[in-house]
Amino acid sequence: MLQGGIFAHGVPMSAIEGVCEGSYWQPMQAWRLKPEWFLRINPEGRVPVIKINGDYIPDSDIIVDVLEKSYPYPPLSTCRNITCRGQNIFPAGMAFFKSKNPRCDGTESQFVCELDHMNHHLCNEGPYIAGQYVTSADIALAPQLYVLQTALAYYKNWTNFEQFYPALNLFMKNMYALPAFMQTAPAPEVVIQGWAKHWSC
């Protein structure tokens, strides 16, 4: 498996959490230009990409679905109403990050509202999104929180997760401590470099 940038982190996590025997991934954050051999097997150059049964699959959602069907234990899938929880956090966080006047344009309050909703859910239903066990919903959300936490702290000096969102902060610590997360997470400096283009917009 070839891992893409910071937004493709969840796919190799799924491979490890799903106990895919012989799984292998190669991070590509350092590749400014994709090599010729990669473009030959994947002309569009999309990442992440995985090779299964001789076929190359370059779509994150399809990859996770294939992994879940191929390696059903431990189960990572969950029902739709659980999977969609937290799906608005990242776009709200991105809008807040890009905003030059977040308190006036409402982007900070919208981001805070999304964090409040997730913190409340985890307080009542946690420690993970679906309850006691890690599922694909957690694997999707944790990398997004990681890059938001890193970028917001560096560029906006926004470090409110621990102080105002205890259940969400515990969720993040639990997810970050997973071997699957530690083995596949981009270094903070990679996140910071990757988000520089958004900061200058």
Mean pLDDT in residue range 163-167:
96
Mean pLDDT in residue range 81-104:
92
Indicate if the pLDDT at residue 30 is higher than 50.
no
Rounded distance between C-alpha atoms, residue 145 and residue 184, angstroms: 15
Asked if omega into 48 is within 30° of 0 (cis), the reply is yes
Instruction: Please tell me the pTM assigned to this model.
Output: 0.78
User: How much of the chain exceeds pLDDT 90, in percent?
Assistant: 46
**55-64, 79-88, 144-153, range with greatest mean pLDDT:** 144-153
Binned at pLDDT 50, 70 and 90, residue 122 comes out as very high
pLDDT for position 201:
60
pLDDT for position 114:
98
pLDDT for position 110:
98
The residue ranking higher by pLDDT, 80 or 52, is: 52
pLDDT for position 32:
55
pLDDT for position 10:
64
pLDDT for position 43:
83
Helical ranges in the chain per DSSP H: 10-17, 36-41, 60-70, 80-83, 89-98, 102-105, 107-125, 136-156, 161-164, 166-176, 179-184, 188-199
- Is the separation of the CB atoms in 172 and 146 below 8 Å? yes
Label residues 35-46 b or e (16+ Cβ within 10 Å = b): eeebeeebeeeb
pLDDT for position 4:
47
Give the residue among 85, 83, 89 at the shortest CA–CA distance from 122. Answer: 85
Binned at pLDDT 50, 70 and 90, residue 115 comes out as very high
Q: Poorest-confidence range of 54-68, 123-137, 167-181?
A: 54-68
- Is the separation of the CB atoms in 51 and 42 below 8 Å? no
Indicate if the pLDDT at residue 76 is higher than 60.
yes
User: How much of the chain exceeds pLDDT 70, in percent?
Assistant: 81
